[in-house]
Amino acid sequence: MNDVPSDAPAPAPTCLPLIPLEDALVLPGMALSVDLASPEANAAVDEVGDDRRVVLVPRVDGRFATIGVVAQLEGDPAMLPGGNRGVTLRALHRGELGRAEAAGGALRIEVVERPDPADPGDEARELAREYRAVVEEILEARGNHPVIAMLRQIDEPGALADTAGFSPDLSYERKLELLETVDVGQRLRKVTAWMRDVLAEIAVRERIREDVAEGMEKSQRQYLLRRQLDAIKKELGDLEGSDGDEFERYRRRIAESALPEEARREAEREVDRLESGAQGPEASTIRTYLDALLDVPWGVLSEESGDVQGARAILDADHAGLEDVKERIVEHLAVRKFRRERAIDDGKAGVILALVGPPGVGKTSLGESIARALGREFVRVALGGVRDEAEIRGHRRTYVGAMPGRFVRALRDAGTMNPVILLDEVDKLGSDWRGDPSSALLEVLDPAQNSTFRDHYLDVEVDLSQVLFLATANMADQIPPALYDRLEVITLDGYTDDEKVAIASGYLVPRQRTRNGLLEDEADVSEEAIRRVIRDHTREAGVRTLERQLGTLLRKAATRLAAGEATAPIAIGPDDVERDLGRAKYHDEVAERTGVAGVATGLAVTSVGGDVLFVEASAHAGTGGPTLTGQLGDVMRESATIALTHVRSNAAHYGVDSRQFEDRQFHLHVPAGAVPKDGPSAGVTMSVALVSLLTGRHVRPDVAMTGEVTLRGRVLPVGGIKQKVLAAHRAGVTDVIIPKRNEADLEDVPAEVLAELSVHPVATLEEALHVALEPAVHWDELAIV
């Protein structure tokens, strides 16, 4: 940047030898020794004239700068220790470079010399004073007083600005910009701004240093004052009775707590570390650890009730139905009672109960009832979506924000060492690079190991053997196998319509009435209305949606009372259901769906309980294997292939014309394509749909079926019979086909449900077809779809 005043006369150029400076630069007023290592530099010194002057030009990335420095040789060249010649130069003033020409081995260049003016003006002198003040502050902050004295001896503003070239705070690019700024005023403005930035940075560093020093001094002062306060208290003789002494508070808590020996030693060691002068983050970590360790209710036990009959009464009062589940829970409580009374301790305190069933059947509330029946505290630990092993075992104290695991925190929240801890949603545990929480649970749920459970944060043994663990899950097959092996599964398959009516009348309606601010004599829901809600607005195994819908009815009743549109008491009947909840959301569509040949009704178990599904079969011209759609899993796809192969190989036996397999491709579809489906239990349904398609015989609309089929036409047993039968009953089906070997599972189905159904156990596909298909139609009368 050549900042030359436009009104300045242009002096005549001078032709001088050029010495290039590689990645270096010189400012006027500097004296330096130059190593003449390059041929260009040697030739330039040899070509100097009588005035012994050269021009020094920085060369950056192979290109010369536009401004150089005219310099005078002082003395003759001399040999340097490295074998090269060297010369001493003194920089005089700037020079604007012009045309260059080679002369011999040297490069000569026209230079318009630009010395600083003798009188730069008042503004320049004012800028020089400002620059001097800023630089002196910088040097004062760094304690460089000799340089301050040298700086005060420079009077010329231009020379004063060029002293910035000695500053280690300026980059090479800024120094080059300084060299190329010819105008003194502009040069001073630039260097002043740059030095102000340096001064600001120094001020920030100094402030940070003072803050740190002040914090350290404060901590040291507090420590000394505490020690002096201890000494004063000892002299006064009242140290032991002081509530203000932190160390003594911790020691009293340790003495009053029933800590195990290992935990006591660890607590005393940490108090000693704190008392010895731990400060800052270390002291905070120690205090947090001691609080967590002493918050565990060591040795505190709830007095357990041994009244088995009272426990059953509490379960009956809290839950309607679920007789098998209640009976198993009472058996479990009775065994615990005898083991406790007879001091039987063989290292196997009993099984861990797992309540498995669809949402809304009362798994969590059963856990609360068990705790009430035992007289213990209840804590729920939600495990759904937990992916970090440290959530179970705790974080190690080396991590910032470390804390104990969920079980130690559960004991702290319960206030006893023998609460009932409900492990909610164990089938939804995850795992990733942070560890596998289900593996960490193995130690917790193993009665032979959990008496010595070691939390990573506390790093002492915690006895969990007195805890009664319960687990809940929606799908048993999603529980990790090693964890499932430690559980005794109690299945809650859902409620019948009569049980739902009883639950709604005895529990849900009163609870929702209270939540909506109504009194008992202000609103009620009739049994017919409850059944209408169950049939038309819910399709679930539990009662969670039913309770929401009942809440809607009562909320609208409360609104009518508040608005004066109705008077108490309000009796909510079936007609009010349609008005307040809208049109029916669910319909008995089995008859409609099976109104054509090739559609059969199957039964399945999902995460929300039993459900009906439809299998549709179709055929079209083409070749190749069957087309399978509906997001089917591998096992279900194999079932479809088996069904088609068996029907094809036994076509004549089932009354199917073998010509229908010629040049035809079959397509099997299970609707609700967005929902993944898998399992072998649809084999019978797929086979019946295929035979229905090929014979033209419709599947009876009142029949649903389940069962695995083999290549030989045998029907094998499947799981979830109770849930499937209940689903068929909810869907309005009257006949259910199940495998012969599942006949014993009907004992689990409520008697009132079986009284309304005709269950057909079958051993072969032929028996299933005999029940499922409508009477035969002559082949010539068929219309192939």
Q: Are 749 and 725 contacting, i.e. CB atoms less than 8 angstroms apart?
A: yes
Of 441, 494, 549, 487, the closest CA to residue 753 belongs to: 494
Q: Is 681 a catalytic residue?
A: yes
Strands 487-491 and 352-356: parallel
For 460, phi and psi rounded to 5 degrees?
A: -135, 160
H or E element in which residue 92 lies:
strand 85-103
Residue type, 203: A
Q: Which residue has the tokens 């397509």?
A: 667
Cα(612)–Cα(728) distance, rounded to whole angstroms?
7
Annotated catalytic residue, options 438, 681, 687, 692: 681
Q: At what angle do helices 683-695 and 765-772 cross, to 10 degrees?
A: 60
- Spacing of C-alpha 72 from chain mean position: 72
Residue 231, CA distances (Å) to 219, 234, 235, 373 in order = 19, 5, 6, 55
Token pair, residue 75, equals 């003395």
Strand partners, 407: none
Cα(609)–Cα(629) distance, rounded to whole angstroms?
23
- Cis omega (within 30 of 0) for bond into 359: no
Burial of 107 (0-12, 13-18, 19+ CB in 10 A): buried
Cα(298)–Cα(463) distance, rounded to whole angstroms?
9
Cα(447)–Cα(580) distance, rounded to whole angstroms?
52
Q: Are 408 and 455 contacting, i.e. CB atoms less than 8 angstroms apart?
A: yes
Strands 627-629 and 609-621: unpaired
Cα(503)–Cα(455) distance, rounded to whole angstroms?
42
Of 130, 193, 112, 124, the closest CA to residue 158 belongs to: 124
Residues contacting 48, CB < 8 A, separation 6+: 17, 54, 73
Annotated catalytic residue, options 363, 500, 722, 724: 724
Looking at residue 713, what DSSP letter applies? -
Cα(476)–Cα(481) distance, rounded to whole angstroms?
10
Q: Are 394 and 457 contacting, i.e. CB atoms less than 8 angstroms apart?
A: yes
Residues contacting 778, CB < 8 A, separation 6+: none
Cα(327)–Cα(103) distance, rounded to whole angstroms?
115
Cα(409)–Cα(591) distance, rounded to whole angstroms?
55
Q: Are 777 and 753 contacting, i.e. CB atoms less than 8 angstroms apart?
A: no
- Spacing of C-alpha 733 from chain mean position: 44
Q: Is 618 a catalytic residue?
A: no
Radius of gyration of the CA atoms of the chain, in A: 46
For 662, phi and psi rounded to 5 degrees?
A: -80, 125
- Spacing of C-alpha 416 from chain mean position: 31
Residue 19, CA distances (Å) to 42, 109, 173, 375 in order = 9, 10, 20, 99
343 C-beta neighbours (distance < 10 Å), count: 6
- Spacing of C-alpha 698 from chain mean position: 51
Cα(498)–Cα(503) distance, rounded to whole angstroms?
9
Triad 681, 686, 691: Cα angle to 5°: 140
Q: Are 113 and 70 contacting, i.e. CB atoms less than 8 angstroms apart?
A: yes
Of 177, 184, 190, the closest CA to residue 155 belongs to: 184
- Catalytic residue ranges: 681, 724
